[in-house]
Amino acid sequence: MQPLPVVQKDEAVPELRLGDVPLRQEVELISIDLPADQAEPLLERGVLPGCRICPVRSSPGGDPIVSVDGSLIALRRETAACLCVRLLTRFQEAT
């Protein structure tokens, strides 16, 4: 199983992982660094490159719970560490 292609990588933006994003900070997903069979459940739920993700709380065990497309999804932190994201600029956040 090959890793999914990196769809869009802006070299100027330092690579940030979803696991490092503070609560309530909305970010944009750039790529999913997971084998296809593990990425598919994410894709089906709308966790796609280009989508906006916002960590809303962490579980008692310290795993992230994120909001995507109005759905609440719980991930393991190991999975969150495989999601490359970038911060939205002020302008993008406003739109």
Is residue 53 near other proteins by the rule CB under 8 A? no
Closest separation between CB of residue 44 and other proteins, Å? 4
Residue 95 buriedness (CB in 10 A; 0-12 / 13-18 / 19+): exposed
Q: What residue type is assigned to position 2 of the chain?
A: Q
Strand partners of residue 53: 27, 68
Is residue 37 near other proteins by the rule CB under 8 A? yes
Is residue 62 near other proteins by the rule CB under 8 A? yes
Closest separation between CB of residue 90 and other proteins, Å? 22
Only one of the segments 16-24, 52-60, 86-94 lies at the binding site for other proteins (rule: CB under 8 A); that segment is 52-60
Q: CB of 38 within 8 A of CB of 10?
A: no
Residue positions counted in the chain: 95
Only one of the segments 15-23, 35-43, 84-92 lies at the binding site for other proteins (rule: CB under 8 A); that segment is 35-43
